[in-house]
Chains A and B, each alone.
Chain A
């Protein structure tokens, strides 16, 4: 299934090479932003970046910071690779992509450590693990290498937003049912607990993230029939 999707993005990217000047947010460009939110969502459709979706969705705040960090890394590295796309030697292009992604991630990590120390402590190794997030490399290879700077930028933002949207959705349910809080603030009133309501400790563990993602996929496919594979 993954291959099929990649083929699809490749054909669209060829389709995008048009000569005439088009407005910055033309219909096609807008689609670059909206497509990954639903039809081509990196997590629920392409099933990429699952690892971090399990690991940092216990609470909303780290999930939000992670999404923003991934967005910064993806947009920046997509732009850089797109700028260099006619210069990069084909044989070492994966290495070049890795170097670019890795240095962007280190930058984000350093900046967080200097300006948002608490958050960087909370995310700890997961910032470093953005390097291994398949979505980032996938977009570089499938899109930025063959498209212009502005389109690549939009593609990076769009895919990161699609990733972040699912991350935040999962974190919302996990924090709400796991600890009765949202962004660290108690939202389930004490009277519920007095009546015998108990936080679901299972929600704090990674398997429940997978199950939540599964439920989201279910709802998405129920709503959007195009996504259902035909046997």
Chain B
């Protein structure tokens, strides 16, 4: 057959597309389970990291089941929606819904008699999405741990939010002020406390050259926590703890 004829060209193209498409579809679907389980385990690993449990990815699932006692799905008024599995909620999708339809997951952990609340975060960095988890202690105010990740922040600058030294700055900071209103944590460029010794100033030291990513972290913490206010204030009043 003439290699330059139109019929041959079309036949070749059709056949090629069919073969390529089916072989790619086959590999994608046969690897899918493994890939999804990687993502799941990474999520568990991140949640565990906020409550101070560092683990390998392979062991994450067992430890997760051991320490995380409850996965709750919260409605806007702070009541629990039993129909939706909290672990499967994708914050990215929730934030696009109308406010009353949004559901937010919260994970309750218990480590050696201590109770922690782990809240997932999602916000905007400079280039793309940033996300993370933040764990509050039993007073629902003091930060036990924070983990951040990002999609495309600048390596060496904004991408440093994934580093331990940055995340450690959040330890012990408080998200509510003494009046009991939410202030969150300000990633501040004018922080006069570079070693983060003052844990009542609601500020951590920012990363030079990563102003917008830092602001993104600030906004993300405040915005996400706002959604949890009804729940956090429900059982125990934070003001009561201070008085």
Contact = CB atoms under 8 A, between A and B. Distances in A.
A176 to B, nearest CB: 15
A88 B12 CA distance: 8
Interface string B17-35: 1001001100110010011
Given A99-B16, A106-B24, A113-B38, A201 B4 contact: no
Residue of A90, A95, A99, A114 ringed by the most chain B CB atoms within 10 A: A114
B31 A91 contact: no
Contacts of B23: 103
A222 interface: no
Interface in B170-223: none
A90 B8 CA distance: 11
Contacts of A117: 35, 38-39, 42, 57
A58 interface: yes
A89 B3 contact: yes
Pick the most buried of A89, A95, A96, A205: most chain B CB atoms within 10 A of its CB: A89
Nearest to A89: B9
Contacts of B17: 99
A204 B35 CA distance: 30
Interface string B144-178: 00000001100110000000000000000000000
A91 B12 contact: no
Interface of B: 3-4, 8-9, 12-13, 16-17, 20, 23-24, 27-28, 31, 34-35, 38-39, 42, 57, 151-152, 155-156
Given A103-B20, A117-B38, A90 B31 contact: no
A115 B34 contact: yes
Contacts of A89: 3-4, 8-9, 12-13
Contacts of B39: 117
Interface of A: 58, 87-92, 95-96, 99-100, 103, 106-107, 110-111, 113-115, 117, 124-125, 178, 201, 204-205
Nearest to A204: B156
Contacts of B156: 58, 178, 201, 204-205
B11 to A, nearest CB: 9
A90 B2 CA distance: 11
A92 B13 contact: yes
Contacts of B34: 114-115
A92 B12 contact: yes
Contacts of A107: 24, 27
A117 B73 CA distance: 28
A121 to B, nearest CB: 8
Contacts of B31: 110-111, 113-114
Which of A88, A95, A113 has the most chain B CB atoms closer than 10 A to its own CB? A113
B4, B39, B155 interface centre (most CB from chain A within 10 Å): B155
Contact of B12 (A87, A178, A201): A87
A16 B116 CA distance: 70
A201 B39 CA distance: 32
Given A96-B12, A117-B42, A204-B156, 18 more contacts: A58-B155, A87-B12, A91-B9, A92-B9, A100-B20, A103-B24, A110-B31, A111-B31, A113-B35, A114-B38, A117-B38, A117-B39, A117-B57, A124-B151, A124-B152, A178-B156, A204-B155, A205-B156
Nearest to B32: A114
Contacts of B12: 87-89, 92, 96
A139 B239 CA distance: 69
Contacts of A114: 31, 34-35, 38
Nearest to A206: B155
A110 B38 CA distance: 12
Contacts of B151: 124
A169 B27 CA distance: 34
A106 to B, nearest CB: 6
A182 to B, nearest CB: 17
18 contacts: A58-B156, A87-B3, A87-B12, A88-B3, A92-B13, A96-B12, A99-B20, A107-B27, A110-B27, A110-B28, A114-B35, A117-B35, A117-B38, A117-B42, A117-B57, A124-B151, A201-B156, A204-B155
Contacts of A95: 13
B42 to A, nearest CB: 7
Contacts of B8: 89
